[in-house]
Structure 1
Amino acid sequence: MQLAFWVRRAHKWIGLVIGVQALLWMISGLYMVVVPLEVIHGDHLAHVPTERLNPSATRITQARLHETYPGINSVSMKSLLGKEVYEIKQGQQTSLVDATSGKKISPLDRDQIVALADAAYVGEGSIKGVEWVTKAPKEVGSRPVPLWAVHYDEPGETTLYFSPHTGDLVARRHELWRWFDFLWMFHIMDYEERENVNNTLLRTASITGLLFALSGAWLLFYSFNRKKQA
């Protein structure tokens, strides 16, 4: 049958084209299943310590805070290295202000970041370098710069990224995360940003894979029918 000949040929060539990508889908999918997501996120390497706020009698009022720093959109209070601080937002800018003196303490310096990293890190390595980052590396995505990067001397090559404006731990990166990111690139077939799960290349590969499955199913039923007729 002429139709069966062409379906068989199409099935073979589609299989050759889609086979490599299907293998990459399976390898990357296996990695995502085997390695727990909380490990990928680095929860076992660093956590944000919870510090209870102790009300201070000498704390400046928010009214005075607004007078000193006009144009404040929002104010929140938190503990930073055992001290009460206000986190204020003025337009797109976020700053930290000492709750007792009213003095702005951000951007945080290297020593303060090292202290924050020591409080957050629960791994077994030691700090091998602290870097002021003004151009965001791919592994932190679209997080705003500048950032402080604290690098650790351990097999996982852990790096903790802190905001100098808020003191927040904004990203944990290590080798298992980097392997995940590398395999994720192949899984979604976005070889530039590694974020777009609805790109043309992925849709094309998915449709091609569907055609491969449908042609294979057709050939299977066709072979059964031929056996019955024989």
Structure 2
Amino acid sequence: MKRLLRIGHRYVSLLVSIQLLLWTISGIFFAFNQIQQVRGEHVREAQPINVDLSSFKLETGPAQSVRFASRLGQPVVVVTKAGEKHYRVPSGNTVAMLTPQEAIEAVHIGTTLVAIDVEFVDKVAPGDEYRGRALPLYRVVAEDAEATQYNVYLNPYTSEIVAVRSERWRVWDLMWGLHIMDWRARDDIHNLPMKFFSLLALISGLTGIGLFFSSRRRVSSISMQSD
């Protein structure tokens, strides 16, 4: 029985060790990379919002939330009703969607980057780097002074930057997927493989401890008999 237990423990430990290695590698990567750098916060510029409340004539009615945003330096009002967002200027008029050229201008205003291309995004697939963001979006490809490329994602109504993605972020995202064992969407930390390997690691550890003390007792018994 003990022989079968040892053989089973050996193969289970090998299987668990592979995932433990991935957990360790990804953990080291997380420890040595600042999340602010990964998220591109270092290339973003603060956008102050100056609002003349005396010119505020918008009647919002019942709303879940009302907030101001800066659209190319000008205030806009974001009203959330029944889960939907409505965009208005303080006078009450509807805000038009940014043009591609205005999206490029927004990146020049809101970051230290130089925009080189722009694309309208209205679809998302599992694992996309802008997943979790409300659509549609503008994706502006931009570069810093060292020619490092970034994808800057903008709200097309407020010009707010909702995400900045770079090669460092993509490596981080890959490591995160390996860490939580959600290799496709990289979002679900409660997935079945994660639960299975966590329990397997626990069982392997407990079995190893049991075998260790069992081996010690056996060695002690043999030593006493030889004396």
* TM-score under structure 2 length normalisation: 0.84
* Aligned partner (choices 45, 59, 62) of residue 58 of structure 2: 62
Q: Distance in 1 between matches of 2:215 and 2:148?
A: 53
Residue aligned with 2:149, SS = coil
Task: Work out the number of aligned pairs and report it.
Answer: 217
Quick one: which amino acid aligns to residue 134 of structure 1? Answer: D
2:149 is matched with 157
2:206 is matched with 214
* Aligned partner (choices 119, 122, 126) of residue 131 of structure 1: 119
Q: Does 1:116 align with 2:112?
A: no
Contact 2:118 2:139 in 1 (8 A): yes
Question: Which ranges of structure 2 fall in alignment gaps of 5 or more residues?
Answer: none
Q: CA deviation at 1:75?
A: 4.3
* Alignment RMSD: 2.4
Q: CA deviation at 1:193?
A: 1.6
Contact 2:49 2:68 in 1 (8 A): no
Q: Distance in 2 between matches of 1:34 and 1:40?
A: 11
1:94 is matched with 85
Contact 1:127 1:152 in 2 (8 A): yes
Q: Distance in 2 between matches of 1:35 and 1:60?
A: 44
Go from structure 1 to structure 2 and tell me whether the alpha carbon gap of 1:171 and 1:8 turns closer, same or farther (over 3 Å shift): same
Q: CA deviation at 1:228?
A: 2.0
Q: CA deviation at 1:202?
A: 1.0
1:85 is matched with 76
Q: CA deviation at 1:153?
A: 3.3
Q: Does 1:166 align with 2:158?
A: yes
Identical amino acids, percent of aligned pairs = 25
Residue aligned with 1:6, SS = helix
Q: CA deviation at 1:90?
A: 5.3
Go from structure 1 to structure 2 and tell me whether the alpha carbon gap of 1:127 and 1:164 turns closer, same or farther (over 3 Å shift): same
Q: Does 1:8 align with 2:39?
A: no
